[in-house]
Amino acid sequence: MASPADVNLTCCHDTDAATEVDITGAGIDFISADNCTNTSGNRTSNPITIPSSGFAYSYEKYLKFELGTTEPDTQVTNFKFWGGGSDPESGVVIDYFRVTDTGVTPAAATTNSAYAAMTTITSDAKQDITGTLTTQGDATQFIVMMLEVSTGASQGNMTQQTFSYSYDEN
């Protein structure tokens, strides 16, 4: 039996989301800048300011699953993605996502209209992510995530959120 395939979670930023950072097991920051750094200093340097009215948004995070150096016997497919079913701060700090085939330069979101709330995808209602990975460098669709902050949000770092994924290898 061959070794399991090397499937990585990659965060993409810069022009056309072309700069790739392997964030497998590392996480992401929702911040006011286009980078894939996940540190306290990054959050301090690039905060999302709580608005006096309306909403403030993080930069988009372009994520994809990518095949590393260990290839599968045949393929890796059937990718699923989901959250824990709750918002970071109910009603005032909300995670959103969308799925797309194309990476573009991440920007600060200005609305949630093209997104769905993360609370809509749970372990009982997972989001399908298209992709059949067979060769090193193959990747899935992008999962684009962002954070919406509204008046009444608490100052400081939000509670850590857990997002899960699964896939089949054969």
Rounded CA separation 140/135 (Å): 12
Does the global pTM surpass 0.75?
yes
Q: How wide is the angle at C-alpha 102 spanned by C-alphas 160 and 88, nearest 5°?
A: 15
pLDDT at 160 over 80: yes
| 40-68 pLDDT, tens digit each | 999 999 999 999 999 999 999 999 999 99
* Region 82-92 average pLDDT: 89
Structural domain for 130, as ranges: 7-169
Q: pLDDT class for 90, splitting at 50, 70, 90? A: confident
Share of the chain above pLDDT 90, in %: 83
Domain assignment present for 1: no
Domain assignment present for 63: yes
Give me the pLDDT at residue 2, please.
64
Helix (H) or strand (E) holding 41: helix 40-45
Domain assignment present for 65: yes
Domain assignment present for 29: yes
* Region 22-42 average pLDDT: 93
Residue 104 identity (one-letter amino acid): V
Structure tokens at 135: 């060769």
> Residue 123, Cβ neighbours under 10 Å: how many?
12
What is the total count of domains within the chain? 1
